[in-house]
Chain A
Amino acid sequence: MIRLERRPAPSRAWAWATPLLAVLATMVAGGLLFAFLGKDPLLVIRTIFWDPILGEFAFYYRGQLLVKAGPLVLIAIGLSLGFRAGVWNIGAEGQYIMGAICGAAVGLAFYPLEARWLIFPMMVLAGGLGGFLWAMIPGILRTRFNTNEILVSLLLVYVAEQILAWMALGPLRSPDGAGFPGSRNLRHYDAAANHELIAGSGMHWGVVAAFIAVILGHVLLSRHILGFNIRLAGASPRAARFAGVNPGLLVLTCLGMSGALAGFAGLFEVAGPAGQINIDFNVGYGFTAIIVAFLGRLHPVGILLAGFLMALTYIGGEAAQATLGVPAAAIQAFQGMLLFFLLALDVMTNYRVRFDVRARA
């Protein structure tokens, strides 16, 4: 019979192998799904994983991969710090929205002043601050009243969505929009626009910020005392307390950093790819980033790779829809499989499989 036996310590080899195996298993299971839908599974998988990088229109898709992966990586880096310390910020989507609103509001307040050196940096700061403050709500409620930050941060997403709708219809609505919802398009206002740094490359300031976050995240975790405290608190809260870690301050720091990074992501998105504050501005980056953080093993470099993989399934998935007629729901199921197989295979990190040859007496 087959038994699972707990490993004395998590296997490092399995920790890095499971994401790759999960991707392979997803390809196999997804291929079966596509075959049942009457599509050529190899063609669909090639369209999703190969064409966006090396196919005929890769010149366009490569840039789009950056656009899609940028906010995911930026948010996931922030989340991973908290997740490592056992601080569960599930509401990055709300912090992302609030960052976008605060940043866009600062930019729109200066319209039509052309002073990019002043306006754009202020918008970036306001974006980070908006996300930071929104994350402080669950943070302070947890440290002062011991509420559960998972619930509070999640529910604040829905509050943020309502504020977003109010902003799009009220205070930030474009005066030239004939009564329709939505702010002015920041991409049409050069002092506030987060344009591509090289036309057609997809590289904008948000992507740059994501790469910087990866480097700083890595340095923080491996070289800085705060990173040590985070890892220690995650591994053993009691030991952390003996080591002099202030648990309340650590909660606030983790939530604050993840909130600020989500806020930056929101600002760069609203001033760049999205262009305007609108009711449907948020499309779930804050939630997908949770998957990215775990897929990347809560490690900055892993998150970078996971962010690109996730972006690939989005971009390639859209291409499979538009060119091969694969239903959107099948693509979503395909993305869901990825997380499912990752979690399932994660068992191997902490357990080993034992085959008992002795038959039962």
Chain B
Amino acid sequence: MLKIITLAAAAAMSASLPAVGGSHGDGPVKAGFVYVGPIGDGGWTYEHHQGLLAVQEHFGDKVETVYQESVPEGADAERAMTQMALQGADIIFTTSFGYMDPTINVAAKFPDVKFEHATGYKRADNVSTYSARFYEGRAVQGHIAGKMTKTNKIGYIASFPIPEVIRGINSAYIHAKKANPDVEMSVIWVYTWFDPPKEADAAKALIDNGVDVVLQHTDSTAPQAAAAEAGVISFGQASDMSEYAPLPRVSSIIDNWAPYYIARVQAVMDGTWESVDTWDGIGPGMVEIGEITDAVPADVKAEAEALRDAIGSGEYHAFTGPLNKQDGSPWLAEGETADDGTLVGMNFYVEGITGEIPN
């Protein structure tokens, strides 16, 4: 308990007492990236690697990048990070939720190295966290899904029941329901971020149950292939997956990490790096909506783009009341929007979703 309090205190202190990075020497800044999947996954890790390439291109000789792919979460991740730190990395990006404790552990041993952990919530003087508001993109997908389904059944391939995934499910459902009050959504939990055969099986199971729009929160393109075969609609996840356009992939959520990575490496060069918590969405461009193809009717496309722009400008929030929780208890009143604290720890479905969050 004491350790956890200390950690929380350290996290709180980091907000008020920013740790200013030391000025950097003459050599290039070395940036390390730890990936949970292969860089060719076509989704999550692919986009992080695009961020690495963007850093390399932006800074040229002034930066040296290294990466390690398919690193399991746990003891192996600690070794991967330690290895990079020993070999002189100045900043290390750890790009999966499960790297949270390993990042904190290694960061404690290398106080001069800056760490950036994606999608987590534990910070320290030399550990920042960053994530994207993927749920904003899910709202746009949900709207298109609700309009496009003919069977009124949409399916969702979910990875792990963590708040990030649950937010996406809720956001997609809310906006599908708004677009089409008769819509029903089935969720399949696959407990993996990247496992093409498992993802394909999940897609097929959904399609066999009459689903004609498949959303996915896993990283491979296997569900796209399954959707193409069955003649149903899908959305690119994390990456554009445009090789499956115009059908089955009618749009996508693209994670654009490049500007953030460039800014953070720049901060290390300038000696202005400090521990921060970043959570950006469509507005700042961290979440992008991939091109909506002509398979979507023009009016639906226009509505979806209007929704995207309204979220991007801050005029509309993806979680706006009236909304009830699944058990019928009130959550948000008319016109009220969700606060970030609730969203960060979201562990409940909104009213109307059938099934339970596994635990």
For A185, the chain B residues whose CB sits under 8 A away are 101
Q: Are A322 and B83 in touch, CB under 8 angstroms?
A: yes
In the bound complex, how far is the Cα of B101 from the Cα of A67, in angstroms? Answer: 18
Q: Are B74 and A273 in touch, CB under 8 angstroms?
A: yes
B66-78, CB under 8 A of A: which get 1 and which 0? 1111111111101
For B79, the chain A residues whose CB sits under 8 A away are 64, 315, 318
In the bound complex, how far is the Cα of B3 from the Cα of A112, in angstroms? Answer: 12
Q: Are A322 and B84 in touch, CB under 8 angstroms?
A: yes
For B78, the chain A residues whose CB sits under 8 A away are 273
Q: Are B359 and A280 in touch, CB under 8 angstroms?
A: no
Residues from 47 to 91 in B contacting A, C-beta threshold 8 Å: 66-76, 78-80, 82-84, 86-87
Q: Are B66 and A274 in touch, CB under 8 angstroms?
A: no
Given A60-B82, A181-B162, A322-B83, answer yes or no on A276-B72 (Cβ-Cβ < 8 Å): no
Q: How far is the CB of A317 from chain B (nearest CB, A)?
A: 10
- Which of A178, A275, A280, A319 lies in contact with B121, CB distance below 8 A? A178
In the bound complex, how far is the Cα of B71 from the Cα of A318, in angstroms? Answer: 9
Given A178-B121, A188-B4, answer yes or no on A173-B69 (Cβ-Cβ < 8 Å): no
A48-73, CB under 8 A of B: which get 1 and which 0? 00000000010010001001000000
For A13, the chain B residues whose CB sits under 8 A away are none
- Identify the closest chain A residue to B66 (Cβ): A322
Cβ of A170 under 8 Å from chain B: yes
Cβ of B27 under 8 Å from chain A: no
Q: How far is the CB of B93 from chain A (nearest CB, A)?
A: 13
For B346, the chain A residues whose CB sits under 8 A away are 179
Identify which of B73, B75, B105 gathers the most chain A CB atoms within 10 Å of its CB.
Answer: B75
- Which of B32, B83, B98, B347 lies in contact with A280, CB distance below 8 A? B98
Given A179-B163, A319-B83, answer yes or no on A169-B75 (Cβ-Cβ < 8 Å): no
- Which of B3, B67, B74, B97 lies in contact with A283, CB distance below 8 A? B74
Q: Are B191 and A276 in touch, CB under 8 angstroms?
A: no
Cβ of B25 under 8 Å from chain A: no
A80-88, A234-242, A325-333 - the one binding chain B = A325-333
For B76, the chain A residues whose CB sits under 8 A away are 283, 318
Cβ of B358 under 8 Å from chain A: yes
Q: Are A322 and B75 in touch, CB under 8 angstroms?
A: no
Q: Are B4 and A269 in touch, CB under 8 angstroms?
A: no
Q: How far is the CB of A324 from chain B (nearest CB, A)?
A: 9
Size of the A side of the interface (Cβ < 8 Å), in residues, is 41
Cβ of B160 under 8 Å from chain A: yes
Q: Are A273 and B87 in touch, CB under 8 angstroms?
A: no
- Identify the closest chain B residue to A112 (Cβ): B1
For A325, the chain B residues whose CB sits under 8 A away are 66-67
In the bound complex, how far is the Cα of B153 from the Cα of A142, in angstroms? Answer: 45
Cβ of A166 under 8 Å from chain B: yes
In the bound complex, how far is the Cα of B79 from the Cα of A100, in angstroms? Answer: 21
Q: Are A322 and B358 in touch, CB under 8 angstroms?
A: no
Q: How far is the CB of A73 from chain B (nearest CB, A)?
A: 16
Identify which of B76, B121, B344 gathers the most chain A CB atoms within 10 Å of its CB.
Answer: B76
In the bound complex, how far is the Cα of B3 from the Cα of A173, in angstroms? Answer: 17
For A173, the chain B residues whose CB sits under 8 A away are 359
Cβ of B345 under 8 Å from chain A: yes
Cβ of B38 under 8 Å from chain A: yes
B87-122, CB under 8 A of A: which get 1 and which 0? 100000000011001000100000000000000010
In the bound complex, how far is the Cα of B348 from the Cα of A179, in angstroms? Answer: 10
In the bound complex, how far is the Cα of B4 from the Cα of A280, in angstroms? Answer: 22
Q: Are A57 and B87 in touch, CB under 8 angstroms?
A: yes
For B98, the chain A residues whose CB sits under 8 A away are 278-280
Q: How far is the CB of B44 from chain A (nearest CB, A)?
A: 15
Cβ of B352 under 8 Å from chain A: no
For A283, the chain B residues whose CB sits under 8 A away are 72, 74, 76
Q: Are B69 and A321 in touch, CB under 8 angstroms?
A: yes
Q: Are A67 and B75 in touch, CB under 8 angstroms?
A: yes
In the bound complex, how far is the Cα of B120 from the Cα of A180, in angstroms? Answer: 10
In the bound complex, how far is the Cα of B194 from the Cα of A328, in angstroms? Answer: 15
Q: Are A328 and B70 in touch, CB under 8 angstroms?
A: yes
B132-152, CB under 8 A of A: which get 1 and which 0? 000000000000000000000
Residues from 203 to 232 in A contacting B, C-beta threshold 8 Å: none
Pairs A–B under 8 Å by Cβ, sample size 17: A60-B83, A112-B1, A166-B358, A173-B359, A178-B121, A180-B97, A185-B101, A273-B75, A278-B98, A279-B191, A283-B72, A318-B76, A318-B79, A322-B68, A322-B80, A322-B83, A328-B69
